[in-house]
Structure 1
């Protein structure tokens, strides 16, 4: 059971007792109606049929802010089969990509259907609680899985808590032959090496903020997420890195050449606050911005 306690401080201090939903559909209806706000996932379909041969219905289908397909399964309380059930549907989804593409095309258009991130499909299980066997299974499986515990507090509040999260097992990178180049090539390689070291330091800083963090990469950026993206790292051809954060640009210090508001401006990744990092010093300055964004995700 969740260890979170909620107190009403309006007249003294009174504990607001947590409770489960009256029925499983209550949780499903609430999440589906506000899926983008609650999970960072765009809702596509409810009770999606997997056909007469497979004989099942996926509770919710969606696509996350990085373009990855998402299956959401719900349970009112503890159900030892929730992870296996979700993985059963995940196997169907991966084998029926055309069906998902058609769904995306019908809901979001041809462009979105062509950009589905099939390297990182996700399963999100929302339940009253989970067993230790569920948590162990998440760590061992190759797919991205999030276990999310819910609780109602009174009649006006609901809490979501990530119990376990795993980003999946990426394929091993291909190695290429080493080449000997000119002095210019070697200087370029040296500069690239400096930026690689900086990117590694940024990666460690972003992942070091909590145990509930995962990351997923596509062709243009690497996203760092809790339940939703809180940061996106975008390498540049020039000697700099761009990091886009969930933090509100109106509530942070905007420093020319370092931090700027990109609300409404097109860019890779997600987030309205852009940081330009060129050195370890910039990374040190970015630490407070990272923490503010992490708290919002």
Structure 2
């Protein structure tokens, strides 16, 4: 399914750069693990992680994505059929070993990050040279959250990744209302609850923002616990609802250094703990605000890596 081509243009003449599979799966794995956050938006936790006597295997890579979801990454040098089956078997292990995973996050990233793990919909990323249409159809039937990512290696220093398909998973629409609710802590309303409580005027405003964020067919929409994520391989934006103040809070993958910040409208969030991803916050309260934010939103959609 991967028809990606890369050309070198010199003096107005285009020459196709030959593509090739990485010679060894381990080389591909090491390359991605070393650069996992840049390439996939996933923080690397462990490599070749043993699954114990029942599953009798080793997970190629374990990580946690920018939304707090546990992630299994599996690699295959050629086509993706075998890697999909293997990754799904490890997903079964992951669901049964939550405490072990959280301890791993605590050891690698700290206790604060371990508290952010969202178990409502763990994710699988399968990386292979190519996937067939039958692979995609099979994933749609299985109903698990799976990304199929194809790669192409062009010479020594060019690597292309393409999101071939992304399945939301059957549990995405049934997330619990708040992490930690079972332990008796005060419930935090989910983004779906906040959307339901929003006045129709705010829902209509969100519909216009959503249309702008999904103006590229490559952008997928995913409901997380506290916000709606818009992503390709990585997030390009996140959106939260504040019904009481009739406000949409968008975080964009835009460098604040290139933006004339306006108090109450745009804010640099680098170094500030806040829900969502992206360094630039934009607060949208009206269609006038949305019109002002349009170029920033499109810059995030079109320019964000992934």
Q: CA deviation at 1:231?
A: 0.6
Corresponding residue SS for 1:149? strand
Structure 2 regions of 5+ residues with no counterpart?
177-195
Give the 5 Å matches for 1:1-297.
Answer: 1-10=1-10, 12-169=13-170, 170-172=172-174, 192-218=199-225, 220-236=226-242, 237-295=244-302, 296-297=304-305
Q: CA deviation at 1:252?
A: 4.0
Q: In the alignment, what sits opposite 1:182?
A: none
Indicate how the Cα distance of structure 1 residues 162 and 173 shifts in structure 2: closer, same or farther if over 3 A, else same: closer
CA distance in 2 between partners of 1:134 and 1:114 (Å): 34
CA contact (8 A) 1:248 1:273 kept: yes
How many matched pairs? 282
> Which structure's CA Rg is the greater one?
1
TM-score using structure 2 length = 0.85
TM-score using structure 1 length = 0.87
Indicate how the Cα distance of structure 1 residues 214 and 145 shifts in structure 2: closer, same or farther if over 3 A, else same: farther
CA contact (8 A) 1:127 1:149 kept: yes
User: For each residue in 1:161-220, what CA deviation from the matched residue of structure 2 results, as whole angstroms up to 9, or x when unmatched?
Assistant: 11111222323589xxxxxxxxxxxxxx997332233223323432342244131311x3
Q: CA RMSD in A?
A: 2.2
Structure 1 regions of 5+ residues with no counterpart?
175-188
Q: In the alignment, what sits opposite 1:177?
A: none
CA contact (8 A) 1:65 1:270 kept: yes
Indicate how the Cα distance of structure 1 residues 251 and 241 shifts in structure 2: closer, same or farther if over 3 A, else same: same
Corresponding residue SS for 1:171? helix
Corresponding residue SS for 1:274? strand
CA distance in 2 between partners of 1:146 and 1:190 (Å): 32
Q: In the alignment, what sits opposite 2:191?
A: none
CA contact (8 A) 1:162 1:212 kept: no
Bigger drift between 235-244 and 89-98 goes to 235-244
